[in-house]
Protein backbone atom coordinates (compact mmCIF):
# COMPACT_ATOMS: atom_id res chain seq x y z
CA UNK A 1 0.00 0.00 0.00
CA UNK A 2 1.35 3.45 -0.86
CA UNK A 3 2.52 5.65 2.00
CA UNK A 4 2.06 9.37 1.51
CA UNK A 5 4.56 11.51 3.40
CA UNK A 6 5.87 15.03 3.00
CA UNK A 7 9.54 15.10 2.08
CA UNK A 8 9.62 11.41 1.15
CA UNK A 9 12.52 10.38 -1.03
CA UNK A 10 10.55 8.79 -3.87
CA UNK A 11 8.78 9.73 -7.07
CA UNK A 12 4.98 9.87 -7.04
CA UNK A 13 3.11 9.38 -10.32
CA UNK A 14 -0.62 10.06 -10.64
CA UNK A 15 -2.21 8.85 -13.86
CA UNK A 16 -5.80 9.64 -14.77
CA UNK A 17 -7.85 7.79 -17.37
CA UNK A 18 -11.08 9.00 -19.01
CA UNK A 19 -13.25 5.98 -19.69
CA UNK A 20 -16.87 4.90 -20.02
CA UNK A 21 -19.01 2.63 -17.84
CA UNK A 22 -18.93 0.12 -20.71
CA UNK A 23 -15.13 -0.15 -20.77
CA UNK A 24 -14.22 0.74 -17.16
CA UNK A 25 -13.97 -2.85 -15.92
CA UNK A 26 -11.94 -3.89 -18.97
CA UNK A 27 -9.57 -0.99 -18.28
CA UNK A 28 -9.28 -1.96 -14.61
CA UNK A 29 -8.58 -5.56 -15.63
CA UNK A 30 -5.85 -4.44 -18.04
CA UNK A 31 -4.25 -2.17 -15.43
CA UNK A 32 -4.45 -4.86 -12.75
CA UNK A 33 -2.78 -7.36 -15.08
CA UNK A 34 -0.09 -4.83 -16.01
CA UNK A 35 0.75 -4.28 -12.34
CA UNK A 36 0.54 -7.94 -11.34
CA UNK A 37 2.50 -9.32 -14.27
CA UNK A 38 4.97 -6.57 -15.14
CA UNK A 39 5.04 -3.15 -13.46
CA UNK A 40 5.33 -4.34 -9.85
CA UNK A 41 8.39 -6.41 -10.81
CA UNK A 42 10.32 -3.49 -12.30
CA UNK A 43 13.37 -1.96 -10.59
CA UNK A 44 12.44 0.94 -8.34
CA UNK A 45 8.74 0.09 -8.01
CA UNK A 46 7.47 0.74 -4.47
CA UNK A 47 3.66 0.60 -4.46
CA UNK A 48 0.52 1.56 -6.36
CA UNK A 49 -3.23 1.89 -6.02
CA UNK A 50 -6.10 1.98 -8.49
CA UNK A 51 -9.17 4.14 -7.90
CA UNK A 52 -12.45 4.45 -9.84
CA UNK A 53 -15.24 6.99 -9.47
CA UNK A 54 -18.79 5.87 -8.80
CA UNK A 55 -19.93 6.73 -12.35
CA UNK A 56 -17.14 4.53 -13.78
CA UNK A 57 -15.99 7.34 -16.07
CA UNK A 58 -12.63 8.08 -14.42
CA UNK A 59 -9.84 5.86 -13.17
CA UNK A 60 -6.93 7.21 -11.18
CA UNK A 61 -3.69 5.38 -10.57
CA UNK A 62 -1.32 6.42 -7.80
CA UNK A 63 2.15 4.88 -7.96
CA UNK A 64 5.44 5.37 -6.18
CA UNK A 65 8.93 4.79 -7.50
CA UNK A 66 12.38 5.02 -5.96
CA UNK A 67 13.49 7.41 -8.73
CA UNK A 68 11.81 9.12 -11.66
CA UNK A 69 14.28 7.33 -13.94
CA UNK A 70 12.89 3.98 -12.76
CA UNK A 71 9.37 5.01 -13.76
CA UNK A 72 10.58 6.36 -17.09
CA UNK A 73 12.52 3.16 -17.86
CA UNK A 74 9.42 1.05 -17.17
CA UNK A 75 7.26 3.31 -19.31
CA UNK A 76 9.73 3.15 -22.23
CA UNK A 77 10.11 -0.64 -22.15
CA UNK A 78 8.81 -2.64 -25.11
CA UNK A 79 6.43 -4.53 -22.81
CA UNK A 80 4.85 -1.39 -21.36
CA UNK A 81 4.64 0.31 -24.72
CA UNK A 82 2.68 -2.71 -25.99
CA UNK A 83 0.41 -2.68 -22.94
CA UNK A 84 -0.15 1.08 -23.22
CA UNK A 85 -1.36 0.67 -26.79
CA UNK A 86 -3.96 -1.82 -25.51
CA UNK A 87 -4.88 0.42 -22.55
CA UNK A 88 -5.29 3.36 -24.91
CA UNK A 89 -8.02 1.43 -26.74
CA UNK A 90 -10.02 1.17 -23.49
CA UNK A 91 -10.11 4.87 -22.62
CA UNK A 92 -10.51 8.27 -24.26
CA UNK A 93 -7.11 9.37 -22.99
CA UNK A 94 -4.69 8.91 -20.13
CA UNK A 95 -1.95 11.04 -18.71
CA UNK A 96 0.78 10.07 -16.23
CA UNK A 97 2.09 13.09 -14.29
CA UNK A 98 5.00 13.08 -11.83
CA UNK A 99 4.34 14.83 -8.51
CA UNK A 100 6.14 15.67 -5.29
CA UNK A 101 4.27 15.39 -1.99
CA UNK A 102 4.17 18.86 -0.41
CA UNK A 103 1.95 17.96 2.54
CA UNK A 104 0.13 15.00 4.02
CA UNK A 105 -2.57 14.73 6.68
CA UNK A 106 -3.46 11.75 8.85
Residues 56-105: pLDDT tens digits?
999 999 999 999 999 999 999 999 999 999 999 999 999 999 999 999 88
Domain ranges within the chain, ordered by starting residue: 11-99
Q: Residue 22: what pLDDT? A: 97
In whole angstroms, what is the distance from residue 50 CA to residue 98 CA?
A: 16
Instruction: Look at phi and psi of residue 81 and say left if phi exceeds 0, alpha if psi is from -120 to 50, else beta.
Output: alpha
Quote the pLDDT of residue 6.
86
The 10s digit of each residue's pLDDT in 34-65 is: 999 999 999 999 999 999 999 999 999 999 99
Architecture per CATH, domain 11-99, reads as 2-Layer Sandwich (3.30)
Please report the pLDDT score of residue 49 as a whole number.
96
Amino acid sequence: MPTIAKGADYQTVITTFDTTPGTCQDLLDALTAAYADFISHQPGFIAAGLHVNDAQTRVANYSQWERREDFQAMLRSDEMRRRNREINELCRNFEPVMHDVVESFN
